[in-house]
Structure 1
Amino acid sequence: MIIISKSAKETEKLGLRLAKKAKGGQIYALIGDLGGGKTCFTKGFAKGLGIPYVISSPSYVLMNIFKLRGGQTKFFCHVDTYRLSVPEEIIEVGLLEHLNNKQTITVIEWADKINKILGPYKKITISFKFIDYTTRKIKITKTTRKNGKGY
């Protein structure tokens, strides 16, 4: 699926809409250049999950976990791998226990930096491409564990 977003607000609303359909165990792998819309999307996604806090990229701590209210899904795991030197660093902060965990929804900014780790996991990849100052082309692709192809 390809979506054209004309503003940061539209990108945030897309995140909110997708969060309403999100299920525990899902991994959202966000890819794109600096300023491409990954954090705007994640802010909307967090709002859609009912998180009352202002979301910012956890660039320095790498991962933030938010407790969700009610329902089967208990946690929202927000990861930002921008600062990683090597992909294995993310393992040290405990990411693996959240991947495909039915109690956790995971969003990973700069997911391409940890492709080696995410490879075997089923995920929804969302890529953000600059069109102009405010416009982004957003491509959403679902992949399976077995062959990396779409559903």
Structure 2
Amino acid sequence: MRALGAGIAEVVRAGDVIALRGGLGAGKTTLARGLLHALGLVEEAPSPSFALVQPYDPPIVRLPVAHVDLYRLEDDADIRELGLDDYMIDSLVIIEWPERIGDRLWDHALCLSIAVADDGSRCLTAQVPDAWRDRWPPR
């Protein structure tokens, strides 16, 4: 998951949204940490489970990033108050548990679903929107 995150970091742009789906322990945060590390973050990125939104700004990363965890949210009003649209103006937005947004997930979001097999390996399914067609899969 870390290596995949690092590969994605090579092709992300400000305004991108990456939606990470999967059960607890599937590797969503690990993928996000690999991406953040490849963007320049030196320290270990905390899970945003309690902060809900963990922002990172240059110079500690090469472009602004908002790492979002919606696991604990169920109320639409709470989600609207996060101001995720505002982050998309100049930031990469990584969202864990995007199903909490329902059908309001942005059309340009790269949706990655991670499943854990019985042997512990991961199976990745990607829904690739037009905005990502020339960048997916990362090299």
TM category (shorter chain) comes to: 0.7 to 0.9
Unpaired runs of 5+ residues, structure 2, are 134-139
Q: How does 1:2-151 map to 2 (within 5 A)?
A: 11-69=1-59, 74-99=63-88, 101=89, 103-118=90-105, 120-143=106-129
Write the distance in 2 (CA, Å) between the matches of 1:133 and 1:56. Answer: 27
More strand by share: 1
Question: SS at the partner of 2:26?
Answer: coil
**CA deviation string 1:18-76 (max 9, x = no partner):** 111111111000011111110110110101111122112211121011003399x7411
Partners of 2:42 and 2:60 within 8 A in 1: no
Aligned residues: 133
**CA deviation string 1:99-142 (max 9, x = no partner):** 3x2x2111000011113332x43110000011125201011222
Write the distance in 2 (CA, Å) between the matches of 1:74 and 1:20. Answer: 12
Partners of 2:6 and 2:35 within 8 A in 1: yes
Write the distance in 2 (CA, Å) between the matches of 1:87 and 1:28. Answer: 20
Unpaired runs of 5+ residues, structure 1, are 1-10
Change in 2 beyond 3 A, CA 1:87/1:16: farther
After TM superposition, the runs of 4+ consecutive aligned structure 1 residues lying more than 2 A away are 68-71
Q: Select between 135-144 and 11-20 the one with higher mean Cα deviation.
A: 135-144
> What RMSD in Å do the two structures reach over aligned CA positions?
2.2
Write the distance in 1 (CA, Å) between the matches of 2:12 and 2:63. Answer: 12
Q: Report the TM-score, using the length of structure 2 for normalisation.
A: 0.84
